[in-house]
Structures are given as structure tokens and as C-alpha cells.
Amino acid sequence: MYTDEELKDTAVNVLRKLEQKFSFECAEVYIQSLYHMMGGTEYRTPKVFQSTNRAGCAIRFFKNNELFFACFPLPTVLNEIENLLSITSYPISTKAFDFPEISLGSSRIENIYDRRIASMHEEEIFNLSYSLNQADESFKEIILDGSIMLSLERKAIANSSQAVAFEKSTWFDIDVRALYRGFDMISSSEKHLTSRQIPNSIHSIVDDLISETIQKTVHADKLENVTVPVVFSPMAFSQIFSFSIVPLLRGSSSEKLSSELSPDFNLIDDGTVPGLPNSTAFDDEGVNQAKTIVIKNGVFEQLLNSSQFKEEGEMNSGNSFRVKMFEYFPRNYQAYPSIYPSNLLIGEGETLSETIIEEIGDGIFVNSTHGYMTADYHSGAFKVSANDAYKIEKGEIVGTLDTFDIIGNIFEVLSKNPLFSKDRKVVRPNNTPYSIVSPCVVSEEISIFL
């Protein structure tokens, strides 16, 4: 594994060679060293699945006013760039832009690096995986499946501004599924948590999961009235939000976001909040992360951008990230930098979710959905399956419901008297490279098909 200094020196040496050999006046070098270790459990059997170490270099440069992009394994990059011009034969269609001046502030984002994760070895993650099984020893009917992944990412960025940005970060990801057989039925629940540090107690995560799973074995009567308020959990709402609204936060989508939304709806992207999963000192172009107010009191303020994709005179929001979608860990040096959120913060309301449920009386609580990736951000329409939902009766959650379909439009949900809870949770929907801090959201603009 490369040392921190070796990564920084390699970035400088690659940039120097590009300038000396090819006389590039505008070039950028991005180096990533990524180390994964994943463990888990299958049917109460601890198992180490894989250990991955990846290091590479991505280069962008202008030649004859055309932009080119190339990637190389880090061990051979200094030799392989001798043939750079023959490798990058097709230019990227784009208007001319300047690579940003790398100028890191004196402050750093705290709580994004856990030394325990960076130094953990295979035996330790094996023991960590085994701790999943210890939590269900008192519940013989419970079977846990899941995985724990520890990641260490180090990145170095150098460009023609003659400065180098370097940062190292850690992630802890846990995915757990509990299966329970009781009361003549089988139920299951899932939990996913992403954090920068190892949680204080994995047992508490598993205990909550077991409680949810057992609760599902209490089956509710079939709904008689399907025109009731729907309460979306932070995860359920974020799943729909990720594919119906988030794609509009970049590009020329301001007219869609400028539609009349509820004055109670606020949306901020903030990559500077300590401890959140995607807070970092700078994005993948070396631009300092920022707090960007996207929507304030229902009124559109600003889109997210990058050095390549921003309007003239617009401040850079620091949202350029190299992402390969649908990978377990999506950050990848081989991906071309594009605009993504870091941490989206949906504004909270004034009432706790427990009180909201009490005041609703009768309704539905949706904890998770399937099919949310089919949401149409052009129209705002979505159709999802509520695979984890509960009946609310007289202000209490009384039991689980069979899977049913939900149809709605995100613009109607966010414009026609939505109710946001005071309490929020940090979630990361599957297949997304960002986190969302979301409240529970209540809407009556939903069609239910049982």
C-alpha cells in the first residue's frame, strides 16, 4: 500500500511530466487509493468475504481546445503516459473551462477519519462479523444475514494551479437482514447504516432490527379506507426523492424546481457537516465543499454545479464527484467527474413523528419501498411497492400490511400541504452515492392500490 507522501508525490510527478513532455497548459491529475475489507454472516456463520486494494490515476487535459480523459493503474502511470496521446483519441464535447484553483482553507472537516478502521486487519473484522451472531443468541427463531464493510479512501488532486490537495477518509457500512418465524408466518426486516466511524454498539443496531422484525408478525386487518394520510419514513421518502428530485439538482432544471412548492419545504446540500457520510474538505476537483441552499421556504435558490458545468459568474458549489453507480462503494477514479450531492438536508418541521402519528388517527406508515428507481424526474410521477408498511389505527401502529402499490407525483406531494416531522434520520438509499438527512413526511396526495 502506498504511503500518504507517495500518493502526493506521484500526483506532482505525473502533472510535471504532462507539462514537460506534452506542454499542456491546462491539466488535472486525480489519484485514488481505496482499500476495502468486507466481512459478514450467513445463517449464523461468520465469513470474511473479500479484501480489495485499488489504486489508480485519472487525467484530464486540454489539447487544441479539446478536452480529453484517461485512466491508468497507479503502479504504471508514469510509464504509460508516454503514450497518452495515442490512448485518448476521442475528445469530450464541452465548452472550455478552467480547472479550479486548489486552495484549501485552514480548517478541515472533522470526524471523517477513524484510525481503527484504517488499521483493522482480517482477524478483527472476522471478530466484528461474529458479533452479529451474538446479538441473536437469545432469539433462536431469528436468523441474521448481513455484511460489514470498512473502507479507507485517500485521494490526491493536482492541476495547473500548481497546488496539491490531499485527504484521507474512512467509512463503516453495515447491511443486516433479520428473518423471523413466529405466529405461523415468516417476516423479515433490513437495516443499512453508513458512518465515518465504527459505531459504539453494533448490538443496538441489531436489537432494533430484531424488534422491527418481530413487530411485523402482528398482521393488521385489510384496509377498508384507502384515502388516508400516508406517513413516509425517512428512508422511504428518501428512496423516492433520490430518483424524482435529485436528478433535477444539476443541469438546466431550475424551471422544474421553480414550480410552486410548499413554504414548509427547505432543501440544503452541505458537505461540511462533521460526521455525515459524505462530508469532506473538497470535492473530486479540489474545490472546497460548501453549504448550498437549493430551496428555501419553497422557493428555488440555486442548482449544484462543478467547474465544468456552471453558469458564468456562478460560485462553484463543490459538487464534482467521480461515481460509478450501482457499485457497493461508488467512488471510483475511473469514472468521469459529474455533479452529485454530498449530504442533502431536508428541512424539519415542528412536531415529532410519534405525535404526528397520534394526531393522524387512521393512516398508513411506509417504512421502505421497492421500485423507486423507476420514478420519473421529468414529470415527477412515481409508482412504488410498499414492501414494508404498517396500518395506523386510532393514533397507533397496529400491525404490518401486505405489499401494495403507491402512485403519486413528487411535485404534488411537496406542494400540497406536506407535513414534515421534527426528528430526522441520516439515510443512504441503495444505489446512491450521497446521504440524505430526512424527516418523516406526511401526504394525502397519494393513491393506494391494494
Instruction: Name the nearest CA neighbour of 402 among 266, 267, 178, 216.
Output: 216
Distance CA 109, CA 331 (A): 19
Residue 83 counted as domain residue: yes
Q: Taking a C-beta distance cutoff of 8 angstroms, is the pair 210, 136 a contact?
A: yes
**Which long-range contacts (C-beta less than 8 Å, at least 24 apart) are formed by 417-420?**
417/262, 417/444, 418/262, 418/264, 418/265, 418/442, 418/443, 419/264, 419/349, 419/351, 419/356, 419/443, 420/264, 420/265, 420/346, 420/347, 420/348, 420/349
Distance CA 421, CA 401 (A): 23
366 beta partners? 232, 389
Fill in the amino acid letter for 301: E
Measured at the alpha carbon of residue 58, what is the angle toward residues 57 and 62, in degrees to the nearest 5? 140
DSSP string covering 337-375, please? PEE--SEEEEPP-SB-HHHHHHHH-SEEEEEEEE-GGG-
178 and 261 together in one domain:
no
Domain that holds residue 57: 4-215
187 and 107 together in one domain:
yes
169 and 196 together in one domain:
yes
Q: Give the pLDDT of the chain (450 residues) as one tens digit per residue.
A: 899 999 999 999 999 999 999 988 899 999 999 998 888 777 666 666 678 899 999 999 998 889 999 999 999 999 999 999 888 778 998 888 999 988 665 456 778 899 988 888 877 877 777 766 665 566 667 777 788 889 999 999 999 988 899 999 999 988 887 777 665 556 677 778 888 988 877 777 777 877 777 776 677 777 666 789 999 999 999 999 999 999 999 876 677 788 789 999 999 999 999 889 999 999 999 999 999 999 999 999 999 999 999 888 888 999 999 999 877 778 899 999 999 999 999 999 999 999 999 999 999 999 999 999 999 999 999 999 998 899 999 999 888 888 899 999 999 999 999 999 999 999 988 778 899 999 999 999 999 887
Question: Domain ends where: 185, 215, 245?
Answer: 215
Number of domains into which the chain is organized: 2
Question: Domain ends where: 215, 245, 270?
Answer: 215
204 and 255 together in one domain:
no
Q: Taking a C-beta distance cutoff of 8 angstroms, is the pair 384, 447 a contact?
A: no
The residues near 384 (Cβ < 8 Å, ≥ 6 apart) are 239, 240, 369, 370, 371, 372, 374, 375, 405, 406
* CB atoms inside a 10 Å sphere around CB 95: 7
349 and 408 together in one domain:
yes
DSSP string covering 381-450, please? EEEEEEEEEEEEETTEEEEEE--EEEEEEHHHHHHS--EEEEEEEEE--TT-SSEEEEEEEEES-EEEE-
Residue 335 counted as domain residue: no
Instruction: Name the nearest CA neighbour of 409 among 370, 445, 359.
Output: 445
200 and 349 together in one domain:
no
Question: Domain ends where: 152, 183, 215?
Answer: 215
Q: Is 395 left (phi over 0), alpha (psi -120 to 50) or beta?
A: left
Give residue 45's pLDDT: 67
193 and 293 together in one domain:
no
Residue 386 counted as domain residue: yes
368 and 412 together in one domain:
yes
Measured CA distances, 225 to 165, 229, 322, 401 (Å): 58, 10, 47, 13
Give residue 225's pLDDT: 62
Identify the burial level of 220 via C-beta atoms within 10 angstroms of its C-beta, where 0-12 means exposed, 13-18 middle and 19 or more buried: middle
Give residue 193's pLDDT: 83
Residue 317 counted as domain residue: no
Measured CA distances, 110 to 1, 295, 320, 343 (Å): 24, 27, 20, 15
What phi and psi values does residue 247 have, to the nearest 5 degrees?
A: -60, -20
What phi and psi values does residue 334 have, to the nearest 5 degrees?
A: -75, -15
203 and 136 together in one domain:
yes
Give residue 142's pLDDT: 76
Residue 422 counted as domain residue: yes
422 and 359 together in one domain:
yes
153 and 176 together in one domain:
yes
Residue 224 counted as domain residue: no
Q: Taking a C-beta distance cutoff of 8 angstroms, is the pair 331, 32 a contact?
A: yes
Give residue 259's pLDDT: 78
Q: How far apart are the first and last CA of the chain?
A: 54
Residue 256 counted as domain residue: yes
Give residue 104's pLDDT: 63
344 beta partners? 269, 436
Q: Taking a C-beta distance cutoff of 8 angstroms, is the pair 358, 395 a contact?
A: yes
Give residue 360's pLDDT: 93
SS3 123: helix
Residue 312 counted as domain residue: no
85, containing H or E segment: helix 84-87
CATH number (domain holding residue 171): 3.30.2290.10
314 beta partners? none
SS3 325: coil
183 and 271 together in one domain:
no
